[in-house]
Amino acid sequence: VLSNVVEDVGQAMDRNISGAHILHELLSAPWLRAVLKVKKKPHTQKHTTQTSLRAVTKLILNSLFSHLSPVPQALLSSHDSVAQSDYGPVLPPLPDEMPEDEEAMRIVCLVKNNQPLGATIRKDEETGEIYIARVIHGGLADRSGLLHPGDMLVEVNGNPVVGLEPEQVIQILINSRGTILFKVIPNAAQSSSSHKSVYMKAMVDYCPLQDSSIPCANAGMAFSRGDLLEVVDQSDAQWWQARKMPCSVSCAGLIPSASMLKSKQREQWWCQPLQVHTCIRPCKNLLLIPPLMFKTDWFPAEFPLWRRTSFRRRRQSCTSCSPNSSALSTPYEEVALYQRPPQENHRLIILIGASGVGVSEVRMRLIKHNPTQFQGPIPHTTRPIRVGEQPGRDYHFVTKELFEYMVCNNRLVEYGEFRGHLYGTSTDAIDDVLRRGRMCIIDVEPHSIQVLRTRKLKPYVVFIKPPSPDRLRQTRRDARIITNITANRAFTEEDFVDLEDSSRLIEAKYKQFFDGVLVNEVLQDTCMQLCSIIQEAQEEPQWIPVSWSRAEE
Ligand SMILES: Nc1ncnc2c1ncn2[C@@H]1O[C@H](COP(=O)(O)OP(=O)(O)OP(=O)(O)O)[C@@H](O)[C@H]1O
């Protein structure tokens, strides 16, 4: 077969086809001829010879694909058909005295370039044997298709490696120039791993350089909360392989599996010095909620309900959190692309931002200018009805007992007290807006996002950020901050600092839940950008948790 191939290439050279010369040299190399003679410890001779032929042809093609250009396609496909075809030399029958434990040997030749090999090795401490521990998807070894997890390394460039330390083997690899020749005994139990990708949103931060348990820090991939990951291999219970989306590199990196991350989190939680843990679950007990400062009691009902207090000042701490709390239990959230069918309700739009950043203003403007498209939920209150007000239009007027019943039954997303009366937004009021075919926009405290993340509402969360410190102070020169119902005043330097700090804290803590981020610099621009983000959220495919996209059981 090789002679025929060499002859073909010789003819190609005569026709002056570029690349053929190098191919000719490669095919004529003594090591390649030696490879074809290797038939050490075969399982079945016919199988081994064919495997060698395919492997050799494949490695030549791989070398060419990665190093030569341009190679005539016809020539390559003719080799490929040699590789694929199922003919091999007619071999004599296996000798009867072949030992049972004989194993096939594979010769793998990779051409070293400036990419890493993309495989990790491990040593069997009992036998001293060196094995391929894992092959990184998209890396050089993976693309060759010739090295697999569990393959035993016998030689690297003629150097026997059994008994060496992994570091010594790596040193041989580092010192090698040009082609690297591996002699391996293939893993007989090699599983034909399926490469079906799973998409996950990271709910925690991870840095391989700070993780002493990672098998190879250089092969690790750092990620932060909110990153979308394409997990390409979950075959190992402890270390998965993934790429960050949108994907610019073909080579995957190692990340801890979900169970591995959970146990790391638990370890960290217990190792932390005794401190108050901040709880991201909303407190259910009405009495625990500090009264919220209501912005207005006299605004039209569809406009904002209350002034959100400084996140920094308001953060609630909870000493009863355990390592099993929801914050620790979901390091990754599986996601899928979702396109809202036209007959389905719109997704709930949630605006989040530090107090004073302009969330209410932006929301109010959007509703005011597009009242047929956007609407806010009608709030519930225990205060008496006033002249000119209409139940169900301005507020849902309810008794204190009914309000508290709603709180106990988790029917309110947020609630608070102002001047002895209770106010709140119910999930039913949100449903009402959505059922009428409108887009419901609400602004809530960040901790309420968790309550609203349901299959039914499929919320789309937009975080509104302040612009740069200079632009924040410039643009808010004439703005008024509302401090209570009767007084509003210009922003002070302390307000700006508080706003910026709060914004940073909210982003750091909740960014894994954000679908969109908007910088509120020039109000008009912010409103227009928000409008187009919302349209996209409703009309274009978006990543959502897999559990939201499954049909209701
Ligand atoms: N881009 C902007 N440029 C100038 N002024 C702005 C801008 N965005 C908002 N403002 C003004 O800043 C002030 C505070 O905005 P807003 O009341 O919407 O804040 P908020 O984020 O809802 O905070 P809170 O809930 O505490 O009231 C308002 O006077 C508003 O008109």
What ipTM score was computed for the predicted complex, to two decimals?
0.98
Say if residue 102's pLDDT is above 70: no
Atom of ligand 1 nearest to the CA of 307: 25
Angle, CA of 215, 160 and 117, to the nearest 5°: 40
Closest residue by CA, ligand 1 atom 16: 358
Tens of pLDDT, residues 429-449: 999 999 999 999 999 999 999
For residue 480, how far is its CA from the centre of ligand 1 (angstroms)? 8
Tens of pLDDT, residues 49-96: 455 555 555 555 555 544 444 333 433 333 333 333 333 344 445 455
For residue 389, how far is its CA from the centre of ligand 1 (angstroms)? 27
539 contacts 340 by C-beta, under 8 angstroms: yes
Q: Which of 360, 361, 483, 503 to mutate to test the pocket of ligand 1 (most atoms within 8 A of CB)?
A: 361
Confidence band of 104 (pLDDT split at 50, 70, 90):
confident
Confidence band of 22 (pLDDT split at 50, 70, 90):
low
In sequence order, the 6+-apart residues with CB closer than 8 A to the CB of 535 are none
Mean pLDDT in residue range 484-505: 87
Q: What does CATH list as the number for 198-271?
A: 2.30.30.40
Residue 238: Cβ-neighbour burial (10 angstroms; 0-12, 13-18, 19+): middle
Beta-bridge mates of residue 335: 545
Angle, CA of 121, 181 and 221, to the nearest 5°: 35
Count Cβ neighbours within 10 Å for each residue of 292-327 and write b for 16 or more, e otherwise: bbbbebeeebbebbbbbbbbbeebeeeeebebeeeb
Say if residue 245's pLDDT is above 60: yes
What pLDDT was estimated at residue 26? 66
Atom of ligand 1 nearest to the CA of 526: 1
What pLDDT was estimated at residue 282? 37
What pLDDT was estimated at residue 24? 72
Tens of pLDDT, residues 118-135: 888 889 988 999 999 888
Q: Does the bond joining 256 to the residue before it have cis omega, within 30 degrees of 0?
A: no
Mean pLDDT in residue range 215-241: 90
CA distance 195 to 517: 33
What pLDDT was estimated at residue 175? 81
What pLDDT was estimated at residue 86? 38
Of 395, 332, 304, which Cα lies nearest the Cα of 546? Answer: 332
Three-class DSSP category at 232: strand
Q: Residue 167 is encoded by which pair of tokens? A: 């570091």
Tens of pLDDT, residues 267-278: 766 665 554 444
* Segment of 156-165, 300-309, 507-516 carrying the highest mean pLDDT: 507-516
Q: What does CATH list as the number for 280-549?
A: 3.40.50.300
Say if residue 354's pLDDT is above 80: yes
Say if residue 468's pLDDT is above 90: yes
Mean of all residue pLDDT scores within the chain: 78
CA distance 40 to 2: 19
Atom of ligand 1 nearest to the CA of 361: 18
Say if residue 395's pLDDT is above 90: yes
Phi-psi region of 226 (alpha: psi -120 to 50; beta: other; left: phi over 0): left
What pLDDT was estimated at residue 399? 96
Beta-bridge mates of residue 107: 183
Confidence band of 321 (pLDDT split at 50, 70, 90):
very low
Q: Which of 305, 360, 528 to mutate to test the pocket of ligand 1 (most atoms within 8 A of CB)?
A: 360
For residue 405, how far is its CA from the centre of ligand 1 (angstroms)? 34
Place of tokens 């599996």: 257
Helix axes 73-84, 2-14, angle to 10 degrees: 170
For residue 460, how far is its CA from the centre of ligand 1 (angstroms)? 21
**Among the ranges given (289-303, 467-481, 491-505, 514-528), the one the predictor scored with the smallest mean pLDDT:** 289-303
Tens of pLDDT, residues 183-208: 989 887 765 555 688 999 999 999 99
Q: Which of 299, 308, 463, 476 to mutate to test the pocket of ligand 1 (most atoms within 8 A of CB)?
A: 476
**What is the residue-wise DSSP string for 29-55?**
-HHHHHHHH---S-SSHHHHHHHHHHH
Mean pLDDT in residue range 259-286: 58
Say if residue 318's pLDDT is above 50: no
Alpha carbon 472 to its chain's center: 32
For residue 175, how far is its CA from the centre of ligand 1 (angstroms)? 63
Beta-bridge mates of residue 429: none
304 contacts 351 by C-beta, under 8 angstroms: no
CATH class of 106-185: mainly beta
For residue 355, how far is its CA from the centre of ligand 1 (angstroms)? 8
What pLDDT was estimated at residue 29? 66
Give residues (CB < 6 A) around ligand 1. Answer: 295, 307-308, 353, 355-361, 475-476, 479-482, 520, 522-523, 526
CA distance 324 to 230: 26
Say if residue 42's pLDDT is above 60: no
Atom of ligand 1 nearest to the CA of 353: 21
For residue 354, how far is its CA from the centre of ligand 1 (angstroms)? 10
Say if residue 484's pLDDT is above 70: no
| Portion of the chain with pLDDT greater than 70, in percent | 71
Beta-bridge mates of residue 391: 395
For residue 482, how far is its CA from the centre of ligand 1 (angstroms)? 9
CA distance 269 to 275: 10
What pLDDT was estimated at residue 134? 86
139 contacts 251 by C-beta, under 8 angstroms: yes
CA dihedral 14, 19, 23, 24 (to 10 degrees): 20
